[in-house]
A and B are shown apart, each in its own frame.
Chain A
């Protein structure tokens, strides 16, 4: 690695006080965890753009925002949103503002929030430093910054039909680290929607872990709406036991830096991981998607569909790797990345990789990139529709396949409203 300077070197000159001496409400083990995370974080190398994960990102600007300040967040009570925002009666809504729990519907037993809970020890296992198998720059960064945590943990056989909506707001110049742990117990199911709304100049370091026990089922949707000078850094992992199934959809609109790092470990036989992601950066934004799927048990299945729509001078990255281990039989793996470049100045770098060590595998992968089809554009325009709208229809038709696969009507409607040219006839 070319740039091997350590984070430590930045801390020396930094005025930043991470305020690790937390109030006495917090148990000793938690303070320990924070301290250990900080020690480890300092030992990481400063990220390098030659690294896939950081390709095209604006690291200097990120580091400056991170270290060139005295405190992480100034909370100004005047800026707090209205508590009455919890309005959706068909869903359980949980709002976090600047990384801290702010308001929610009445919370059922399977949802716990770290700052609210008296019995904080139920979180203890989650903060063992090695819980996240990606012990990376990203996860350690989240660990030192985060101030609240959401734990969603079902009971055995508990089918939760009510959708859980997590809304993360941030405001100007904040550094926040949302942290969500999802534990889907044996033969139980959950539906979760997370909406991240960032504000100018903020850094969001997001961490999510998913743990699925046998025969469990999780549907997860994520909408990341960002301001142009936000840095959004996300790491998410899914560990899956026998017969469990995860269906994930995310839509990222890009930011100064937007990077999502996903690791799925299919550890139990017949487990299934479906992951669809849309990224639609514009201006000079960036959107990076790193994904690793490990097939560690027999008859596991992965379905990865990633689509990018890139406008203006934006830059997109897809780096996906599917790994099938040597002693694993009957794997089915599919990975597809399609990109639509709607501007001559947009750039995409795509790299789907298969690492297959067992022949008993059915797999395919593909990556394509193209621009708007001029003949289609002419055809639509020739029926009286202006060029801008015609392009939007073509973009809509490009992303529609992924939107159509969303089973939650509510979330589908919400996304369709976000983008008026997705025609809602199926």
Chain B
């Protein structure tokens, strides 16, 4: 296997603006198969902007640089194609869609992915079996499945629902944007277990978080510090521990 084949995500010199404001400023990041990366950094430093840009949100304009996912240029790819290829974004603020049931939504998502790979629709039986066991694994009651997508869910329930979607879609790269924010310890453990269960040699995860807590469960290969639209320092779990104690100030000043 060549080195290129091992790379899942390669971001080079990425600059992104929204509403005329430059948010990302020449960002570089390479994620290889099987790796887990953590991104930490102060509010407003552009972490969600990075996540949404990779997923293809129309509000974010790439002004320079390149994003390659599985060695394919993402810039001309639709949001759904990126997902079909194996990209998953766990939203910082999952969206509520009343009137579209969780179950129908997930089934449509899975079938869209299968269609992309020229596979037939999943059988109702297999789908329900998989859905039930995933919901059980995440401690989501069956009643959530028939409710509207995220409709009236608590913060924690929404985040578990994101992880449920991730597990059902079985992505190659998951970007989890503050999936641990607002979770109590038990919920966080459930989420961490969910993420851990999805890890494999072929898939990778980027965790955007403010807390070392989750990282202690997941043990990332790299911890990046994000500031002003780029990565200013990279280390390992120890860096996360240090950030937890000292905050970000010392790093920013040193810079």
Contacts and interface: CB of A to CB of B under 8 A. Distances in A.
Interface of A: 374-376, 378-387, 389-390, 393-394, 396-398, 400-401, 423-426
Contacts of A380: 97, 100, 105
Contact of A400 (B58, B82, B94, B99): B99
A379 B97 contact: yes
A239 to B, nearest CB: 35
Nearest to B147: A425
B101 A378 contact: no
Interface string B85-120: 000010100110111110111101100110010000
A397 B58 contact: no
Given A376-B97, A383-B105, A397 B148 contact: yes
B136 to A, nearest CB: 19
Contacts of A389: 108, 112
B84 interface: yes
Given A374-B58, A383-B169, A423 B100 contact: yes
A379 B94 contact: yes
Interface residues of B, number: 33
Contacts of A374: 58-59
Nearest to A424: B104
B99 A401 contact: yes
A385 B109 CA distance: 6
A394 B100 CA distance: 8
Where chain B touches its partner, the secondary structure class is helix
Given A374-B58, A397-B99, A423-B101, A382 B79 contact: yes
Contact of A396 (B56, B100, B106): B100
Which of A380, A384, A385 has the largest number of chain B CB atoms within 10 A? A384
A373 to B, nearest CB: 8
Contacts of B169: 383-384
Contacts of B58: 374, 378
A425 B94 contact: no
A385 B80 contact: yes
B146 A397 contact: no
Contacts of A424: 104
A426 B103 CA distance: 10
A379 B78 CA distance: 13
Nearest to A374: B58
B108 A385 contact: yes
11 contacts: A375-B95, A378-B55, A378-B79, A378-B95, A381-B83, A384-B169, A385-B80, A387-B78, A394-B100, A397-B97, A398-B99
A278 to B, nearest CB: 14
A375 B59 CA distance: 10
Nearest to B114: A384
B78 A376 contact: no
Interface in B41-93: 55-59, 78-80, 82-84, 89, 91
Contacts of B113: 384
Contact of B89 (A382, A386, A396, A425): A382
A384 B81 CA distance: 6
B25 interface: no
Contact of B116 (A381, A384, A387, A396): A384
B165 interface: yes
Contacts of B116: 384
A425 B144 CA distance: 12
Instruction: List the 7 closest pairs (A to B, CB-CB), nearest first.
Output: A397-B99, A423-B104, A384-B83, A383-B109, A381-B79, A379-B95, A425-B101
Given A384-B116, A387-B78, A425 B83 contact: no
Which of A378, A387, A424 has the largest number of chain B CB atoms within 10 A? A378
B109 A384 contact: yes
Interface in B107-144: 108-109, 112-113, 116
A397 B100 contact: yes
A399 to B, nearest CB: 8
A401 B148 CA distance: 12
Given A378-B57, A378-B79, A425-B146, A384 B97 contact: no
B131 to A, nearest CB: 12
Nearest to B148: A397
A384 B113 CA distance: 6
A396 B99 contact: yes
Nearest to B94: A379
Contacts of A396: 99-100
A381 B80 contact: yes
Contact of A393 (B59, B82, B106, B108): B108
Given A393-B105, A393-B108, A425-B103, 17 more contacts: A379-B91, A380-B97, A380-B100, A381-B80, A382-B55, A384-B84, A385-B108, A387-B78, A389-B108, A393-B97, A397-B97, A397-B98, A397-B99, A397-B100, A398-B99, A423-B104, A423-B105
B123 to A, nearest CB: 17
